[in-house]
Chain A
Amino acid sequence: MIPELGEYALILALCLSALLGVVPLVGAAVGNALWCSFARPLSVGLFGFVLFSFLCLVWAFISNDFSVSYVAANSNTALPWFYRISAVWGGHEGSLLLWALILSCWILAVALKSDNLPQDMRARVLAVMGLIATGFILFVLFTSSPFERLLPNPPAEGGDLNPLLQDFGLIVHPPMLYMGYVGFSVAFAFAIAALISGRLDSAWARWSRPWTNIAWAFLTLGIVLGSWWAYYELGWGGWWFWDPVENASLMPWLIGTALVHSLAATEKRGVFKSWTVLLAIFAFSLSLLGTFLVRSGVLTSVHAFASDPERGFFILALLGITVGASLLLYAIKASKVKSESSFSLLSRESFLLVNNVLLTVICAMVLLGTLYPLVVDALNLGKLSVGPPYFNALFVPLAILLALMVGVGSQVRWRETSAALLVGQLWLPGLLALVATGLTWMALPEWPGVAAGLGLLLAWWVVFTGMRDLYNRVRNKRERLQAMFGQSRSYYGMMLAHAGIAVLAVGIALVASFSEQSDLRMQPGDRKSFGGYEFVFEGIKPGAGPNYRSDTGVIQVYRDGQLYTTMQPEKRLYTTRGMPMTEAAIDPGLFRDLYVALGEPLGNDAWAVRVQYKPFVRWIWLGGLLMMAGGLLAASDPRYRKQNRRDASVPA
């Protein structure tokens, strides 16, 4: 009964979303205020029904209702209750329902938090989002309903959740990622609404900025969680694999980052308007493309869900209609857009443009590398794969260039800066960065290599130029300390996000240079010294969990002759699916991780063991978290909530 209620609620939600997609849009076009005013109640209703539908599915999982085919395929009575909830989005159907739920959350948020918008703008934005919701709910209902029953003979036991997904990281990773993906639909809707109304002005940019920042922050968090999950769950210690599914989340992030910066220029100076609109369209298109790549199975990947061409065609059609229509609208309307001001070569505008070009180029190159095998296959030119060296070879130099620009860009003024002034501002931070890098080098065991050394230098460069900027802001104030704490939140947000880049760069540089890894054959009693620690393999003990059997290795770690810790990596066999899983043992630390994973048994009590020493690997995720915090802080700036007031002193 409950699953049927869920399905009916979803059908009602579809009706409401279709109304939301049409009525306010027509109202705004003909100037009917009453029709426009329907946008808000429709949004609230849409959210209510999708939420109800989702809760029905959650209930089916909690109550082990295996007569629902999706529940039977992805859950099991032996599964702990929290995994039963996360199993809701463990498969294709449920994760699409989650997508729809998150979209309706964003719709609700926009409906409730848009008092400062003119009514017709609000109506158009919500209508565009309503249209997107219509497409997605149709997709769920017609190709992937999670509520389908297996009657009259429901199985007594379910097929269990994929063991890879039975993990805390997977409880939180998809919702955060979707928050980001779907969040870009807000920026997209604002851009489309502005195109329709022809009002591409700084007010539009100011409205979309906080939404874009929040979506970007969530996407950042989602990617960080994904990387962290891959590190401990399937990565054998790697944290980024250039896997198609990872790339699918990175591409909207890159374009979203460009959008965050370009919106700043559009708001402050009224430039790059049509470019900003295009970025907003691309950010959401790439989110849809990411969904398509993961859901359709056109690219093989460790994360890919079971493929189904019919679903692939549906989502491709959805992608085609959404992106095709918006790009067509763009092509027709954007020619009327004019820049409101000019700028010189040495200006913040230029540097933001360079930032945008770099990010877009990186994104294009990731897109090319990800889709190249598909293109070659489609042209019948053979089967191939593009290896990580391709991505590294291009990503690293472009990212280094980008980090260099961060330091310069924050010192350059809007409209025009003299070269002399710029050099005057930058020589000291540059010198300090060199000195600090030298000192860091002395603290390291050896020279980390050119690329990593450059990474360290750039990290310091970003830090010192940021400090210089802050100093410039307070030095002429009487109360310097007060001035330091009196800057706007969006300024602190920017500083925090840029500091995140520095932390991230340190993490990547040091992990890449000083990681140690060794695959060993170990018998009980074998010892191995590694990164200043001594690992002693004590043997294997068998064990069992609620839905798996396991072999647990016991490895004692000594430091300076003292027992430091005992690490217990596991090899699990999930009985329902007969699927083996490696559970690494990690001793985490701010400055280094110890990572031990069990390979296969080699006979005579010997096991293959992988031991790793990972310096500063946590900094990679720490950097990502700082960026996320920066995005959220900037979005919380009170000035976005004020109507029609421009505070010129606030920076980008």
Chain B
Amino acid sequence: MNPKRKKRLYLVLFIVVGVAVAVGLTMYALSQNINLFYSPTQIAQQEAPQGRRIRAGGMVVEGSVQRAAADLDVTFDITDYAHTVRVHYTGILPDLFREGQGIVAQGEIDANGVLQAVEVLAKHDENYMPPEVADALQKAGKMPMPAGQEFNK
């Protein structure tokens, strides 16, 4: 093999190895960081894994939001109208978080079946409900029905 070709070969090998490593890393990182979506029914039936980051979505049950008196702990229930899951979160809830509104919470299910959320999302500019929530509700075959405490502000 002449030296010129050899250099070319090195270059090509370098690139191929680099790309292969990158692809491998990408697939690994992807498999570690996808957050699967579960509905309250799936969680209640223990389909969702414990101790792994998941997303759960549903409507916030009216009257279920409880703020702690001293700090920013908050618990509330989310429902797909078939089953209900309790969510615990510490921190500031998003602007569009309201009872009766669809939200998505990200976090892990603990041993008591409570979702320990690290993030709560209420989509901006959403006229309806998060599509994931809509999908879950549709699958559960249940419709929203909570009686409002008062008219929405």
Contacts and interface: CB of A to CB of B under 8 A. Distances in A.
Q: Is the interface of B mostly helix, strand, loop or mixed?
A: mixed
A344 B95 CA distance: 58
Interface in B1-34: 4, 7, 10-11, 14-15, 18-19, 22, 25-26, 29-30, 32-34
B contact residues, range: 35 or more
Interface in A561-594: 578-582
Contact of A387 (B7, B35, B132): B35
Contacts of A313: none
Interface string B120-153: 0001110000111001000000000000000001
Contacts of A369: 30
Nearest to A519: B91
Interface residues of A, number: 46
B72 A393 contact: no
Contacts of B35: 384-387
A365 B34 contact: no
B70 to A, nearest CB: 7
Contacts of A468: none
B4 A342 contact: yes
Contacts of B32: 389-390, 393
Contacts, number: 107
Contacts of A520: 72
Contact of B34 (A236, A357, A385, A599): A385
Contact of B19 (A357, A389, A599): A357
A187 B90 CA distance: 50
Given A350-B11, A387-B35, A580-B95, A300 B123 contact: yes
B28 to A, nearest CB: 9
Contacts of B97: 600
B105 to A, nearest CB: 12
A389 B26 contact: no
Contacts of A397: 25
Contacts of B72: 519-521, 599, 608
Contact of A581 (B55, B91, B95, B131): B95
Nearest to A389: B33
B37 interface: yes
Contact of B15 (A357, A394, A582): A357
A78 interface: no
B92 interface: yes
B82 interface: no
A386 B33 contact: yes
Contacts of A608: 72, 91-93
B127 to A, nearest CB: 8
Contacts of A236: 92
A394 B92 contact: no
Contacts of B29: 389-390, 393-394
B36 interface: yes
A385 B125 contact: no
B44 interface: no
A164 interface: yes
A164 B92 contact: no
Interface string A372-412: 10000000001111110110011001100000000000000
A608 B25 CA distance: 40
Contacts of B70: 521
A602 interface: yes
A382 B37 contact: yes
A143 interface: no
Given A164-B125, A300-B123, A345 B7 contact: yes
B37 A345 contact: no
Given A394-B26, A521-B71, A302 B123 contact: yes
B123 to A, nearest CB: 7
B86 interface: no
A353 interface: yes
Contacts of A599: 72, 91-93
A234 interface: yes
Contacts of B4: 342
A413 interface: no
Contacts of B11: 345, 350, 353
A385 B37 contact: yes
A164 B94 CA distance: 14
A345 B10 contact: yes
B7 A394 contact: no
A162 interface: yes
A368 interface: yes
Nearest to A573: B153
Contacts of A300: 123, 130-131
The 5 closest A-B pairs by CB, nearest first: A599-B92, A390-B33, A383-B37, A393-B29, A580-B95
9 contacts: A164-B125, A234-B124, A342-B4, A345-B11, A354-B15, A357-B19, A365-B22, A394-B29, A582-B95
Given A164-B125, A383-B132, 7 more contacts: A302-B124, A354-B15, A387-B34, A387-B106, A390-B32, A394-B29, A600-B92
Interface of B: 4, 7, 10-11, 14-15, 18-19, 22, 25-26, 29-30, 32-37, 53, 55, 67, 70-72, 90-93, 95-97, 106, 123-125, 130-132, 135, 153
Interface of A: 162, 164, 234, 236, 300, 302, 342, 344-345, 350, 353-354, 357, 361, 364-365, 368-369, 372, 382-387, 389-390, 393-394, 397-398, 519-521, 578-582, 597, 599-600, 602-603, 608, 610
